Amino acid sequence: MTEGWHGWDEYAPFYDWENARTLGRRDVPFWTSVAKQARGRVLELGCGTGRVSKPLIDAGVDLVGIDRSAAMLARFRSAEASRSKCIRGDIRALPFADESFAAVIAPYGILQSLTRDRDLAATLGSVARVTKRGGLLGIDLVPDVPNWREYQDREQLRGRDGARHLTLIESVHQNRRRRQTRFTQTYIERRGAKETTHRFDLVFRTLTVPQMIDRLERAGFGVDRLLGDYRGRAWDPRAEVWILLAKKG
Sheet with 131-141, strands from edge to edge, namely 86-88, 63-67, 42-45, 101-106, 131-141, 242-248, 221-227
* Displacement of CA 199 from its chain's centroid (Å): 21
CA dihedral 160, 49, 126, 137 (to 10 degrees): -80
* Cβ atoms of residues 168 and 158 within 8 Å: yes
Sites in the chain below the pLDDT cut of 70: 1-2, 24, 79-84
Using DSSP, state whether 118 is helix, strand or coil.
helix
- Please state, in angstroms and rounded to a whole number, the distance separating the CA atoms of residues 82 and 31: 23
* Displacement of CA 135 from its chain's centroid (Å): 20
Closest by CA to 36, choosing from 16, 61, 15, is: 61
pLDDT of residue 79: 63
pLDDT of residue 84: 59
H helix runs in 65-109, sequence order: 70-80
Q: Amino acid letter at 87?
A: I
pLDDT of residue 81: 46
Sheet with 194-205, strands from edge to edge, namely 151-161, 164-175, 180-191, 194-205
- Please state, in angstroms and rounded to a whole number, the distance separating the CA atoms of residues 66 and 86: 6
* Cβ atoms of residues 221 and 248 within 8 Å: yes
Closest by CA to 155, choosing from 182, 187, 198, 199, is: 187
Which domains are present in the chain? 8-143+207-248 (3.40.50.150), 145-204 (2.20.25)
Indicate the DSSP class of residue 93: S
pLDDT of residue 1: 60
Q: Amino acid letter at 247?
A: K
pLDDT of residue 82: 41
Closest by CA to 43, choosing from 122, 136, 134, is: 136
How far, in Å, are 9, 31, 189, 193 from residue 197 at the CA level?
15, 35, 6, 13
